[in-house]
A and B are shown apart, each in its own frame.
Chain A
Amino acid sequence: MSDIDSYREKLRPGSLPHFFCPGCGCGQIMNFFLQAADEVDLDFDNLVAVGGVGCTARIPVYLDADALHGIHGRVLPWATGIKLHKPQLDVVVFAGDGGVGAIGGNHFIQAARRNLDVTVIVVNNLNFAMTGGQVSPTTPSGLNTMTTPYGNREERFDLYELAHSAGATFFSRWNTFHYQQATDSIKKALNHEGFSVVEILSQCPTHFGRYALGSGEPTRGMEWIEEKSITISDAHELTGEEKKDKFVLGDFYSEERPVFAGSTVYVEEK
């Protein structure tokens, strides 16, 4: 167990204060990651932290490691180039529900299919937050956002179903209430060889809270997510219809499959 000073050493000098809103889950999740990284002795000299554009995407900017930032949704193509050219590097991607569920959806699917050896931490705050609270592919049906003023008429993505069917070899989902479990799952994901995804449902008091829930209180956002959260074993007892508006939490699965090393790998002819 480390104290907070050892995490501070992992932050990029001069990068604070961070720009997350008061009560945002991104700061918590960065903390989960720092604790997990510390406990698995992740070498920050060997780490590339990758973020696109959005609230979650800012996390790599605050980490004292090599980092990429500033293009929406292309996190996995960057990671693919890095892992193919220098497979020995540890690559951790921080992405939001927009980055992997919308604009970068195909990259997410293909990287999962290839079993690219990276860890993806998805902060799912259920809306496009940096741009002001628009509907996202993971916004639950019926809710109001800035672009669904009469209620969201679309079905939401279940990122577990998406990742699993695409070929990811590790998936866990938690929310910001469950800091110990989330941290433990990030540790497992960092130690996993292959495409590992940890989705963390996160409160967005500034936008999702105010527009969808009618409350900008961070704790209200956390409670709302927690009230709808059930365990994997609970979920087995429910019908599809009953599960529809629930968030299923837990370590879903971990499996072994060869990791991707390039579309063609030279094998000397005998």
Chain B
Amino acid sequence: MLGNYALVEGALAAGCDFFAGYPITPANEISERMANRLPAVGGKFLQSEDELCSIYSVTGASLCGAKAMTATASAGFNYMQEGLGYASSVEAPCVIVDVQRCRGENYATQSDVMQMKWGASGDYEVVVLAPSSVQELFDYTVEAFNIAEKYRIPVIVMSETTIALMRENLTIPEPGEIEIEERDRPEVPPEDFLPFSPNDRGVPPMPSFGEGYHTLYSLNPHDEAGNINWDPDTYENMYERVLGKIQDNIDDVSIVEEHFADDADTILVAYGSEFRPAMDATLRARDEGLSVGLLKLGTVWPVPEKELAGAAEAADTVISVEMNVGKYTREVERVCGPRAEVRSVTKNRGSIHTAGEIYSAIKEVS
């Protein structure tokens, strides 16, 4: 199946019932398949007038109880940053897909990896998942909805031209085999309900519009009752909780795969489609007896610091592999730098690394 289609199937399997999107390549197949599939399962599709309408209609639907998603590509993701900040602030669960592309053309890149985390004004935490295959476009999209619902946050699926337009085998589990999370709902009547009072995960239970809970969702700092409140303590506490609910549960949102990383001298770190050539290079090097392991980051934000630090602890060298000018390497350097030498292997030419290119980098340090 085509990668973009697999992502749609994952969204539907997770219960997605609202989608809005504005045309942009290479994300169009997501909108097209959603337009076809969603109405038949009782959902609503909107071709928006722009990406701002996409993200805000998704937010509006989410606050009505929808499992809502939008999809775009790099340039369109710029426009969504404002709405990403709002969704994070009022804790509206939603899923945003960014099929990364080069500026102006649909060549392969991972150059939005920083925009994922740092693009909106103000303070926020998002979870960003980076699938590396058609199967993972399905699996991670299910996971994205689950994390969004569980923590009431926007979750970003950081796709890429490479995998979005690739066809591979896809195994769709039987519906009962897929674990589905639903947002916590209020257990008290409206008169006793504080809309921003958290559960033990730091996440407030969430009513839907029209249920009598009269909730105000303002971007402005708000107290537990939802009232706008510029008291400095309220401001500080609100952001501590909104950021803390992710920071305190980082293990629960981290997808990290370790391949031969236990006692390797050299550790590769890769995410997204770059995992594929990195894995090939690792296997080739190991065939030749080199001590090489690979850490695959399925979650790139928040940075899985524990796993990165653990892998670096036993290694001499960490090689950060990515398809841009070396952006995420700074994070790898921050975490692994005190423990091992960090090298950056980048490719910023509109195409994915070959296994040979990465293998050469391994040879240089082995």
Residue ranges of A at the interface with B (Cβ–Cβ < 8 Å): 12, 14-15, 44-46, 48, 60-61, 64-71, 74, 76-82, 84-86, 88-89, 106-107, 110, 261-266
Contact = CB atoms under 8 A, between A and B. Distances in A.
A69 B56 contact: no
Given A14-B227, A66-B209, A80 B46 contact: yes
A84 B216 contact: no
B57 interface: yes
Given A12-B227, A70-B86, A70-B217, 5 more contacts: A61-B216, A70-B219, A78-B59, A84-B44, A86-B209
B213 interface: yes
A69 B216 CA distance: 7
A106 B49 contact: yes
B64 A89 contact: yes
A145 B49 CA distance: 32
A81 B20 CA distance: 9
B35 A85 contact: no
B220 A80 contact: no
B210 A70 contact: no
A150 B196 CA distance: 48
Interface residues of B, number: 51
Interface of B: 17-18, 20, 35-36, 38-40, 44-50, 52-66, 68, 82-83, 86, 89, 208-220, 225, 227-228
B60 to A, nearest CB: 3
A107 B53 contact: yes
Contacts of B209: 48, 66, 82, 86, 89
A77 B86 CA distance: 13
Contacts of A80: 46, 48, 53, 56-57, 60
Contacts of A76: 53
Nearest to A48: B209
A69 B227 contact: no
A264 B38 CA distance: 9
Contact of A106 (B36, B45, B50, B218): B50
Contacts of B218: 61, 67-70
Given A69-B220, A86-B209, A264-B45, A77 B39 contact: no
B226 to A, nearest CB: 9
Q: Is the interface of B mostly helix, strand, loop or mixed?
A: mixed
Contacts of A85: 17-18, 44, 60-61, 64-66, 68
B212 A262 contact: no
Contacts of B47: 263
A80 B18 CA distance: 11
Nearest to A45: B212
A262 B46 contact: yes
B222 to A, nearest CB: 9
A65 B214 contact: yes
Given A68-B60, A71-B83, A15 B18 contact: no
A88 B209 CA distance: 11
Contact of A86 (B56, B64, B213): B64
A69 B35 contact: no
Among B46, B66, B216, the most chain A Cβ lie within 10 Å of the Cβ of B216
Nearest to B40: A266
A67 B216 contact: yes
Given A81-B59, A264-B35, A74 B52 contact: yes
A129 B216 CA distance: 23
Contacts of B86: 70-71, 74
B306 to A, nearest CB: 35
A91 B152 CA distance: 23
Contacts of A82: 60-61, 63-64, 209
Contacts of A77: 48, 52-57, 60
B149 to A, nearest CB: 15
B217 A69 contact: yes
Nearest to B18: A85
B215 A263 contact: no
Contacts of B68: 81, 85
Nearest to B31: A263
A262 B47 CA distance: 8
Nearest to A60: B216
Given A12-B216, A79-B60, A81-B58, A265 B39 contact: yes
Among B49, B54, B66, the most chain A Cβ lie within 10 Å of the Cβ of B49
Given A14-B225, A15-B227, A86-B65, A81 B60 contact: yes
A18 to B, nearest CB: 12
B210 A46 contact: yes
B212 to A, nearest CB: 4
B210 A66 contact: yes
List the 3 closest pairs (A to B, CB-CB), nearest first.
A81-B60, A70-B219, A81-B57
Contacts of B225: 14
Contacts of A89: 64, 209-210
B31 to A, nearest CB: 10
Contacts of A64: 214
